Amino acid sequence: MKAYKLLINGKLVEGRTTRGIINPATEEVFAQCPQADEALLNHAVASARSAFPGWAGRPLSERAGMLQRLADALEARRDDIALILTQEQGKPLGDAKGEIAGTVGYIRYIATLDLPPKVLKENEGERIVQHRAPLGVVGAITPWNMPLILLALKLAPGLLAGNTMIVKPAPTTPLTTLLIGELCAEIFPLGVVNTIVDDNDLGAVMTRHPSIAKIAFTGSTETGRKVMESAAGTLKRLTLELGGNDAALVLDDNDPDEVAEHLLRGATLNCGQVCLAIKRAYIPESLYDAVCDALAQRANAMVVGDGQDPATQMGPIQNRAQYKKVKGYLDIAKRDGNVIAGGELSKGPGYFVPPTIVRDIHDTSPLVSEEQFGPVLPVLVYRDVEDVLARINDSHWGLGGTIWGRDLERAYALAQRFESGTVWVNRHLNLQAEIPFSGAKQSGIGTEYGQEGLEEFTQRKVINMQLGA
């Protein structure tokens, strides 16, 4: 069995305890992982703190070069790291490779960016220049659905900007993050990157830590609130990428079969465990039966299984707690609607949930108003576009959303009225490295991706000089 290690102060070290990592497709422990305690976390923070001035003082081009080396190293290890990602997370191997390709691509993109000083004012008497200075030690806290890409969104811009990093994955998917730590150990100076694994207890220590300047967090809205509260004590900078309950609005000029294909994919990718997954679908009355039937037919044909099996289209739910939660939503689906595909769990082992389609369900059902984070799609009917917009926007979330229709002007006009950070028209999950991404309402604070995503890891610093003194 491979011995995983934490990366602290440039050394690969044991933890204080170990935790067994479960493969969600088999429910068996397949790896042992080191786990840190508060003292080890403090040691990591202290080493990141002392590495900061040296790292921040290097030219940006040197930091970019090291990020390119990290991308190269990760690419070279794509196949074996993808296998571990599938084993710890559950997603099909092809999707795991896709996540690694996205991670590599994002790191490479960030390495092409710059943070040039900007002359704000210059004349005979004065020169005022804005710099983008790093913040110090940044804590990156990630969830278990997409451990690598969500890490890259923090690690790459954080490092390029000149910060040093403490990285903490979710306790159920730590292995791929530790593998990134191993690669970093070969590339970055001592203390610049540190990896910590916890028992869901050290995130809170990081958010209140006096020596951590910023927390870049992806996770649930509920935990995001706790992060904000705890960070208030030291007025930490925060990026919060939180939950969503994204709606798909289908307009009446769609082909039912075609749109059903897009809806099902958007609702079942990564077993529905995507912040931007389609979590509720609104269909016009004229197409309702046809779209529901097409969805059910396609859902019934999907191959659910171990992500290591090449035939698998959808893997298991990642962990037991989430599996129990999704099981609860299946009960709600039966109570509040008509289940026309899926709905029943197999005996196991494995946290498998079949793609489930639920029709004739009302807006107040928790399956519609909450974030299910599993492959259970409520399909709702509407008669009037104004009315459905109000129903869609009646949510404290506002992450993404999709509109499906042939009349692009109409779709564009409606997209402007969605209360969310991103709206896709006739496509979904099109996330591009240079296009900023941020959540509206309680789906988040701050931005990832693009130049804006990089600048989130900096502090504006203005140098204001009187000339000719």
Residues known to be catalytic:
241
Beta carbon nearer to ligand NAD, 86 or 142: 142
**Shortest Å, Cβ 142 to ligand NAD:** 6
Would you say 313 and 303 are in contact if contact means Cβ atoms under 8 Å apart?
yes
* Cα separations in angstroms, 413 against 380, 385, 392, 441: 22, 12, 15, 21
**Shortest Å, Cβ 273 to ligand NAD:** 7
Phi and psi at 233, nearest 5°, equal -60, -35
Interface with ligand NAD includes 244 (CB under 6 A)?
yes
**Shortest Å, Cβ 437 to ligand NAD:** 7
At 196, the amino acid letter reads I
Site for ligand NAD in 33-92 (CB under 6 A): none
The tokens for 166 are 């403490």
Q: In angstroms, rounded to a whole number, what is the distance separating the alpha carbons of residues 273 and 241?
A: 14
Compute the C-alpha angle 384/385/390, nearest 5°: 100
Residue from 90, 181, 219, 355 touching ligand NAD (CB under 6 A): that is: 219
Interface with ligand NAD includes 275 (CB under 6 A)?
yes
Interface with ligand NAD includes 266 (CB under 6 A)?
no
Q: In angstroms, rounded to a whole number, what is the distance separating the alpha carbons of residues 313 and 303?
A: 5
Residue from 86, 87, 89, 145 touching ligand NAD (CB under 6 A): that is: 145
Interface with ligand NAD includes 194 (CB under 6 A)?
no
Number of H helices, E strands in the chain: 15, 22
Residue from 227, 326, 392, 423 touching ligand NAD (CB under 6 A): that is: 227
**Shortest Å, Cβ 446 to ligand NAD:** 10
Beta carbon nearer to ligand NAD, 301 or 321: 321
Closest CA to 122 of 132, 130, 114, 131: 130
Interface with ligand NAD includes 270 (CB under 6 A)?
no
Interface with ligand NAD includes 141 (CB under 6 A)?
yes
Beta carbon nearer to ligand NAD, 66 or 151: 151
Compute the C-alpha angle 238/159/133, nearest 5°: 70
Interface with ligand NAD includes 442 (CB under 6 A)?
no
Q: How many residues bind ligand NAD (CB under 6 A)?
A: 30
Per-residue burial over 403-427, b = 16 or more CB atoms within 10 Å of its CB, e = otherwise:
bbbeeeeebeebbeebbbbbbbbee
Neighbouring C-beta atoms of residue 46, cutoff 10 Å:
16
Residue from 203, 266, 272, 450 touching ligand NAD (CB under 6 A): that is: 203
- From the list 143-151, 180-188, 332-340, 346-354, the region that binds ligand NAD by CB under 6 A is 143-151
Beta carbon nearer to ligand NAD, 153 or 291: 153
Interface with ligand NAD includes 456 (CB under 6 A)?
no
Residue from 220, 393, 426, 451 touching ligand NAD (CB under 6 A): that is: 220
Would you say 394 and 373 are in contact if contact means Cβ atoms under 8 Å apart?
no
Detail the DSSP E strand segments found in 182-297: 193-195, 214-218, 237-241, 247-250, 280-284
Residue from 60, 204, 345, 429 touching ligand NAD (CB under 6 A): that is: 204
Type and span of the H or E element at 341? strand 338-341
Site for ligand NAD in 91-120 (CB under 6 A): none
Interface with ligand NAD includes 223 (CB under 6 A)?
yes
Neighbouring C-beta atoms of residue 160, cutoff 10 Å:
24
Interface with ligand NAD includes 399 (CB under 6 A)?
yes
Neighbouring C-beta atoms of residue 251, cutoff 10 Å:
19
Site for ligand NAD in 365-394 (CB under 6 A): 371, 373
In the complex, the residues that contact ligand NAD under the rule CB under 6 A are 141-146, 150, 168, 170-171, 200, 203-204, 207, 218-220, 223, 226-227, 241-244, 275, 371, 373, 399, 439, 444
